[in-house]
Structure 1
């Protein structure tokens, strides 16, 4: 080696050991590159840099696997052993920082920089040294790994840095702790750290000793009990008694003592155990009593999880799991904020109502995760028997608690998030009314003393956070509904479905189908086409199925055609999935007479609805077609009566309703249509047909009408606005009383639409109809 030995030196990686200055120790070196480093050092000044590895399992380390601080050591002796390894005796000289690796093969040579000890106040260091020596003396008395003679070699050291290093070398510490001592150049800090470490180690050793003594006593007691039980079995056998009952009683008694039951419940458990002891094992009542005791013991009476009341964290968790659903998230965050301010134990009772597939159940799981509670679910669909909720009386063989108590046992805590799934699908018959039994469960004034027929003792459900789900509120009895806070989840908009697909569904399906993001990519236009033309739903279940179908077909292409990447665009969807299954409304291309565009709200979101009016010679007959419901028929009749009443203002013949037949038609006659929002659209189309004035093609409208022409508010403005935007409309005529709903519409959509708020039909006609000469 031709380099300058003052700055460049061989490096020897160490596994599981740290060498300090002034420390003399034997090391066995076996790795080939380490042996070569030794040989090189022996040829020159017998010095090398010893640096510990971060991971002892790494056979051939690189610079990232080594700590940055090590020790310059002198090789005092080297002996080659028969097995090919070398045993060396080294002495630590000084601390050093590894600066740069000059060569890595066949062994490391590095540059280094020496680290010099930094001292503080002499008096303080003397006090620290004295305390360290005293602590180490006590440590050697309780530690089995450190001999008491070691203290004699340490107590006379009068140099603080050397004392710290030597003491550390005799402690049973992790490699990270020993390395920390090596890296600490400021001696007072090093002494403080070692003193604190010894104190911690003493406490751990003391605890180990106590545990060892306890285990030993337990083993002695267990052996004694085993011997006595064997004797008892022998006695029972001689007497002809069936063995096992005594063991069961002891086991139940032990469970009762360990369960930390409330005083009243513990008394009942012991009382039942005394009964069990007296009842013959062959009796049917014996199994009933044993089952009852086990239920008392296994139910959570006091075990409670601590709520994580970090509102920001909860909001982050809810946003990670679900896109949209702002009202539900807001309600959960309000609950957490109130908990934080009041430390109240009672939980809210929420009822999430919405179509299938909108994420009601998974949202409840996210709520549990956000507050740090256990999550349990009881499915109530098809439950007809009241005993399913309240449990069976113990007089029956095979009796058991109801679903509420069973779920509480599964939760293991008194304050889980409890999901009552499909609460609207409970039914009643001759066996009772389970919905009435749910009244006590969900009433905040009563559920702190819920009575299960099997348990019989009052059970506190007031700390439980109940979340119910339902598809339809109309089937839930009014008294039960009154006890819950109803939050409607109407469904997702197209934009929300786009985000959900990108952030959740596609990632999930790629993983389930063995694909990576680089192998299959979805363009936004393809996802929107999937939403619009291949699914029609409020939730996202069918959307996920279609995405899964695309993933499977892409996987086949990648495997069979050896394609490295598949990009799904709007034009490729028909190739992958076939012709679109649905279509959505489009804006008229030209201004039309007698045709107005209405905005409808369906369970699958919003849609546009063309309303056509035809005027022919006749006898004054009004015909309505398109499978209209009662409400829409009444809207059409109200619109017709309004036009008749204003015939003069519209410059119509006074007896026009006797000379002409009016036919109002809404296309797609096979699809039932109903709802109180088509009034102004029907009236506009009617006036257009009678006055020969065309309706603006870019205008969509929604609102109900009275006989006096007043425009009444409607629902679903958000969904209707999105459908108008999707169909290419630019102007929406809406009731003025719905201005509060505008803030629910996404800003990106709101900016591209013009909203005209109206209170009377005259305003609608002014904005929607063109003059006759514009035909």
Structure 2
């Protein structure tokens, strides 16, 4: 939406003028206390036709909307009894003044099991009906549906999952039209024949524990993901190189982690003169994808400690948390999505900030049974967990 007249309406002096969408909808509803759903409010823009965000301020502000002015009516209209619900994928693009008028409710994406059940109960019956099929002609195995969810879609919702199921339905309908009336059962083995090769493959876990590689967790608009942070160091020019399309906040996290490591050199059995000629390189794979945020701070720190001390990092432990100069571990967002990503990538343990402990109630029970959670307050506790097998001695070559 870019035209302010969509909300305020047109003045009656114009040819073809009409009230704004809000007044029109109230007239259609026949009541002055309906529920309005405004979708994708983070996509509104400003151009020569006006600023819809400024008009929405009057609509959404409970102190002003009791006398909303529509240009067509030209009299105050009371919107105080109307309930407005807006949706957005991102809150950072919503104007601050407009966001201040709304209560923000964060809704997490579906888990794989939830997607599986929704597909079985709603999406598959819908696509069978639309393609003129029934369960005697087309069936789906649970493993096949899970493979579609994990390897053919990457989303918080279900839109692409329904598209993939619809694509299978169309191919089966075509075969029936060609005279092949045998029942088609979609399994994990024959799925590729219908949808082609997998579109999204999980990051490959190292076969052994590797020095300088730590497993972090990221929260994206598609859900959680595992982020493998790599660090390498050598004697040379004293500098810190950062690659992998890191944003400014993530770069600052690396610098904060390195400062913490320098301050704890004695505790970590690092010689004091090590940093005089240390050339450190930190890289986050998938360089074409921009990455930002502070939650990879402890992961960066662990990767650099591992590279400097030559101690391998347990590849089955994932971690997330912001680090400060003094080593405090601060809370992060998207814990549920990150935990599900850790489980999907065969992690066995996860390190999280202690201040996120209250969010563990949102984690599904089956996830808690298969993963061990470590709550930490500071970086010292993180190091103790990661290097518990051999905390002081470097690995022998």
TM-score range for the pair, normalised by the shorter chain length: over 0.9
Deviation at residue 699 of structure 1 after TM alignment = 0.8
Distance 1:415-1:517 versus aligned 2 partners, 3 A rule? farther
2:268 is the counterpart of 1:650: yes
Corresponding position of 1:547: 165
Residue by residue over 1:200-236, the C-alpha shift from the partner in whole angstroms, topping out at 9 and shown as x without a partner, is xxxxxxxxxxxxxxxxxxxxxxxxxxxxxxxxxxxxx
Residue by residue over 1:720-758, the C-alpha shift from the partner in whole angstroms, topping out at 9 and shown as x without a partner, is 111111111110011111101111111111111000011
Residue by residue over 1:2-51, the C-alpha shift from the partner in whole angstroms, topping out at 9 and shown as x without a partner, is xxxxxxxxxxxxxxxxxxxxxxxxxxxxxxxxxxxxxxxxxxxxxxxxxx
2:80 is the counterpart of 1:462: yes
Corresponding position of 1:497: 115
| RMSD, matched Cα | 2.0
Distance 1:549-1:454 versus aligned 2 partners, 3 A rule? same
- C-alpha contact 1:490 1:603 (8 A) present in aligned 2: no
2:49 is the counterpart of 1:425: no
2:379 is the counterpart of 1:761: yes
2:352 is the counterpart of 1:734: yes
Q: What is the distance in 1 between the residues matched to 2:14 and 2:238?
A: 73
Distance 1:413-1:705 versus aligned 2 partners, 3 A rule? same
Q: What is the distance in 2 between the residues matched to 1:462 and 1:660?
A: 64
Q: What is the distance in 2 between the residues matched to 1:601 and 1:726?
A: 14
User: What number of residue pairs does the alignment pair up?
Assistant: 393
Distance 1:556-1:657 versus aligned 2 partners, 3 A rule? same
Q: Which of 244, 248, 260 is the equivalent residue of 1:626? A: 244
Q: Which of 313, 316, 320 is the equivalent residue of 1:695? A: 313
2:228 is the counterpart of 1:610: yes
Deviation at residue 469 of structure 1 after TM alignment = 2.4
* Residues 472-483 of structure 1: pairs in structure 2 closer than 5 A: 472-483=90-101
Q: Which of 664, 667, 674 is the equivalent residue of 2:282? A: 664
Q: What is the distance in 2 between the residues matched to 1:429 and 1:664?
A: 42
Q: What is the distance in 2 between the residues matched to 1:435 and 1:703?
A: 35
Q: What is the distance in 1 between the residues matched to 2:93 and 2:322?
A: 27
Q: What is the distance in 2 between the residues matched to 1:411 and 1:429?
A: 31
2:194 is the counterpart of 1:568: no
* Residues 384-533 of structure 1: pairs in structure 2 closer than 5 A: 384=3, 386-533=4-151
Q: Which deviates the most, 423-432 or 638-647?
A: 423-432
Q: What is the distance in 1 between the residues matched to 2:238 and 2:44?
A: 51
Deviation at residue 716 of structure 1 after TM alignment = 0.9
Corresponding position of 1:145: none
* Residues 77-156 of structure 1: pairs in structure 2 closer than 5 A: none
Deviation at residue 490 of structure 1 after TM alignment = 4.2
Residue by residue over 1:316-352, the C-alpha shift from the partner in whole angstroms, topping out at 9 and shown as x without a partner, is xxxxxxxxxxxxxxxxxxxxxxxxxxxxxxxxxxxxx
Q: Aligned to 1:486, what secondary structure does the other structure show?
A: coil
Deviation at residue 615 of structure 1 after TM alignment = 2.2
Q: What is the distance in 2 between the residues matched to 1:612 and 1:430?
A: 48
2:244 is the counterpart of 1:640: no
Deviation at residue 562 of structure 1 after TM alignment = 2.5
Corresponding position of 2:219: 601
Q: What is the distance in 1 between the residues matched to 2:41 and 2:259?
A: 44
Normalising by structure 2, we get a TM-score of 0.92
- C-alpha contact 1:498 1:527 (8 A) present in aligned 2: yes
* Residues 269-418 of structure 1: pairs in structure 2 closer than 5 A: 381=1, 383-384=2-3, 386-418=4-36
Deviation at residue 571 of structure 1 after TM alignment = 1.7
Q: Aligned to 2:370, what secondary structure does the other structure show?
A: coil
Q: Please, which runs of 5 or more residues in structure 2 have no aligned partner?
A: none
- C-alpha contact 1:420 1:466 (8 A) present in aligned 2: yes
- C-alpha contact 1:711 1:760 (8 A) present in aligned 2: yes
Q: What is the distance in 2 between the residues matched to 1:624 and 1:479?
A: 36
Q: What is the distance in 1 between the residues matched to 2:93 and 2:384?
A: 44
Deviation at residue 431 of structure 1 after TM alignment = 4.2
Q: Which of 565, 578, 587 is the equivalent residue of 2:196? A: 578
Q: Aligned to 2:210, what secondary structure does the other structure show?
A: coil
Residue by residue over 1:373-424, the C-alpha shift from the partner in whole angstroms, topping out at 9 and shown as x without a partner, is xxxxxxxx2x32x333222222334332122121222222323222223333
- C-alpha contact 2:33 2:82 (8 A) present in aligned 1: yes
Corresponding position of 1:205: none
Residue by residue over 1:264-316, the C-alpha shift from the partner in whole angstroms, topping out at 9 and shown as x without a partner, is xxxxxxxxxxxxxxxxxxxxxxxxxxxxxxxxxxxxxxxxxxxxxxxxxxxxx
Residue by residue over 1:73-101, the C-alpha shift from the partner in whole angstroms, topping out at 9 and shown as x without a partner, is xxxxxxxxxxxxxxxxxxxxxxxxxxxxx
Deviation at residue 561 of structure 1 after TM alignment = 5.5
Q: Which runs of 4+ in 1 moved over 6 A?
A: none
Q: Aligned to 1:487, what secondary structure does the other structure show?
A: coil
Q: What is the distance in 1 between the residues matched to 2:251 and 2:153?
A: 29
Bigger Rg over Cα: 1
- C-alpha contact 1:558 1:565 (8 A) present in aligned 2: no
Distance 1:623-1:433 versus aligned 2 partners, 3 A rule? closer
- C-alpha contact 2:298 2:379 (8 A) present in aligned 1: yes
- C-alpha contact 1:586 1:728 (8 A) present in aligned 2: no
Distance 1:659-1:524 versus aligned 2 partners, 3 A rule? same
Q: What is the distance in 1 between the residues matched to 2:236 and 2:309?
A: 17
